[in-house]
Amino acid sequence: MGGKQGTRPNSLSFDATSGLKDHMLVKGFKNDYAKFSAYGKGAYAGKRHTWWPRRHVRSVVFTFALLGFFFLLDSFMYSYFDPTFFKNGPTPAYAPRDLNAENEANERGPVMYSQLVQMASFSLAKIDQEQNVTKFWKETRPEASAWKPCADKNQKRDAKNTTGFILVSANGGLNQQRVAVCNAVAVASLLNATLVIPKFLYSNVWKDPSQFSDIYQEETFMNMLKDDVDIVKELPLHLRSTDFEAIGSLVTDADLSKEATPDEYIRNISPILSRNGVVHFLGFGNRLGFESVPSHLQKLRCKCNFHALKFVPKIQKIAALLVKRITKYEASRSLLDRQLLGSFIPTERVEAANPSKYLALHLRFEVDMVAYSMCNFGGGERERAQLQAYREEHFPLLLERLKKAKPPSPEELRKMGRCPLTPEEAALVLASLGFDHGTYIYLAGSQIYGGESRMLPLVSLYPNLVTKEDLLSPTELEPFRNFSSQLAALDFIACAVSDVFAITDSGSQLSSLVSGFRTYFGGGDAPTLRPSKKRLAAILQENSTISWHSFEKRVRKMIEEGQRVRLRRPGRSIYRQPRCRDCMCSDNQ
């Protein structure tokens, strides 16, 4: 798509009328049959002896018509799944990784549910013909609008002398580090310590040297939280050369329980602060739980996540450009826009404009996710060999654990809801919810395992699928090259401000944080689709016998139940489920 606003990707073009033509073809055969029937009864009534073909003209015509229909249908389905149908376009942004390069460009990918995909195609043609608009563009639960953001209100803090300095070196990618930062703010407040602006560890997985100030606005972060916790940019000079391990101030993830309680910090970390005046948390991945955390600390975590961590102008500017191009609209459409895009999205209304709605889809079908799951995805022996080789190289500890205990079979894993959804399964869910063939879909995430061939069922049903690489020119993307966390920030914003956000893995940190943002700032009008992988697997198990009507009904029920307005349950992430009195305010309070 390059840098031109509103341009659709040529590589994803698809004949939207092909399914409709088949539908009309069937009706045409029925009408022709009726005509021949009437002709035979009128012109030849009463004649006992007629030439055989004339006497059986209806049967002959119907037989030839039926054979012709099946011939055309077979041709349509061949072109529908033939990757050469798209061969004239440029290479999509979701091109396969090196592992996927072994697949030939024109190889057909595995289609696990061909009958359902065919029914979905006809269903979308009918939707286009009748111009039906799905109800899932809107929040299905009006009571969601009763909850409003209010974590930015200042809290009273007792004036105390600081007990020391807390330094955090956070691991992981963008979203893991974001959680670590806000957990560090809460721990600093709990221990009455001064927080040093967190550092981000370089990861061999993410390969991103970005630091806090490359992603977030430092001054905004410090000013927003100044009434809650003391924050400095650097350690005092006399502590900068300290060997933290030598003095016993280095605390790794092995030294803390996962999702540790406040009592554990007071019992184990507070004495170190008192003795050495500094503690360095190394890693700090999910090292503060959500159970037994005082209300004021929960509110502080919300204030940090939803108000204090603002993306830097460099990210906001390009994200605003991306959103404007997909919506074809220059102004802010919601509070989410204003919170995440800042001054780069005008607040005034634009006259004579018709914004395009879009759905953001976060597919977790990267090769590492697929390999780690131990599931099968219809690719046969070749797929199993590829994924096993990847596990041997990247997940040796997983294979060691599997030697000690018999793992569930791939079929059992799928029944338990442990398998990532494929692009094909995601397409079937969207089609069953009534999203029409022309729906704009923003695809977030890394390269999809299997590349173009694996994406074919999704792109065939939904050709208006775009990525940031389609919407932005190489020049616009150049400042983000080799900075995976900054690229992930663009996906974060595009998903958060979308009209509908569809997730395929509820355990994903990006999906959790984005859905939390949409709950917090969405005003009850930012729907998120959360399919249950376990329930969907049970439905898809009947793929060879289930009717489209039944499939559609059961999937819609699953999604509607996932959209129920629920208060945050004890122990659940307040970043993902902020709808509680510790984080939001209700009209009914």
Q: How far is 345 from 263, CA to CA, in rounded Å?
A: 44
DSSP states of 353-415 as a string?
Answer: --PPPEEEEE----HHHHHHHT---S-HHHHHHHHHHHHHHH-HHHHHHHHHSPPPPHHHHHH
**What is d(CA 433, CA 439) in angstroms, rounded to the nearest whole number?**
12
CB atoms within 10 A of CB 238: 8
Q: Is 379 exposed, middle or buried (0-12, 13-18, 19+ CB in 10 A)?
A: buried
Neighbours of 587 (CB within 10 A): 9
Contacts of 202 (CB under 8 A, 6+ apart): 208, 209
pLDDT for the residue 58? 62
Residue 455 · residue 423 · CB < 8 Å: yes
Check if the beta carbon of residue 285 is closer than 8 Å to that of residue 168. Answer: no
d(CA 160, CA 95): 56
The predicted pLDDT at position 348 comes to: 75
Give the single-character DSSP code of 342.
G
Q: What is the pLDDT of residue 43?
A: 34
563 contacts: CB under 8 Å, gap ≥ 6: 139, 140, 141, 527, 528, 529, 530
Q: ∠ CA(105), CA(386), CA(445), 5° rounding?
A: 65
Instruction: Check if the beta carbon of residue 502 is closer than 8 Å to that of residue 123.
Output: no
| Residue with the two structure tokens 């009958």 | 115
Q: 514: which 2 tokens?
A: 């984005």
Q: Which among 473, 436, 465 is positioned nearest to 448, based on CA atoms?
A: 465
- In angstroms, rounded to a whole number, what is the distance separating the alpha carbons of residues 227 and 426? 45
Tens of pLDDT along the chain (589 residues) come to 433 333 333 333 333 333 333 333 333 333 333 333 333 333 333 333 444 445 555 665 566 565 565 555 444 444 444 333 333 333 344 433 343 444 433 345 688 999 999 999 999 999 999 999 999 999 878 788 899 999 998 777 776 789 999 999 999 999 999 999 999 999 999 999 999 999 999 988 778 999 999 999 999 999 999 999 999 999 999 999 999 999 999 999 999 999 999 999 999 999 999 999 999 999 999 999 998 999 999 999 999 999 999 999 999 999 999 999 999 988 899 999 999 999 999 887 665 467 899 999 999 999 999 999 999 999 999 999 999 999 999 999 999 999 898 889 999 999 999 999 999 999 999 999 999 999 999 999 878 999 999 999 999 999 999 999 999 999 999 999 999 999 999 999 999 999 999 999 988 999 999 999 999 999 999 999 999 999 999 999 999 999 999 999 999 999 999 988 888 988 899 999 999 999 999 987 6
- Judge contact between 323 and 303, C-beta under 8 A: no
Strand partners, 194: 165
User: Residue type for 576, please?
Assistant: R
Beta-strand runs (E) in 331-435: 358-362
What are the backbone dihedrals phi and psi of residue 534, each rounded to the nearest 5 degrees, phi first?
Answer: -70, -45
Is residue 456 within 8 Å of residue 96, measured between CB atoms? Answer: no
pLDDT value of residue 140:
76
> Taking the CA of residue 554 as centre, how many other CA atoms within 13 Å lie in the half-sphere pointing to its CB?
18
First-residue to last-residue Cα distance in the chain:
48
Interatomic CA distance for residues 93 and 524, integer angstroms:
33
Distance between CA atoms of residues 488 and 315, nearest Å: 10
Helix and strand element counts for the chain (H, E): 25, 13
Q: Tell me the angle at which helices 451-461 and 423-432 cross, rounded to the nearest 10 degrees.
A: 10
Strand extents, DSSP E, 158-233? 165-170, 194-196, 199-200, 231-232
**Which two three-digit tokens encode residue 226?**
């100044």
Report the alpha-carbon angle 356-358-361, nearest 5. Answer: 165
Angle of helix 18-43 versus helix 114-130 axis, rounded to 10 = 80
Cα–Cα distance for residue pair 136/423, rounded to 1 Å: 20
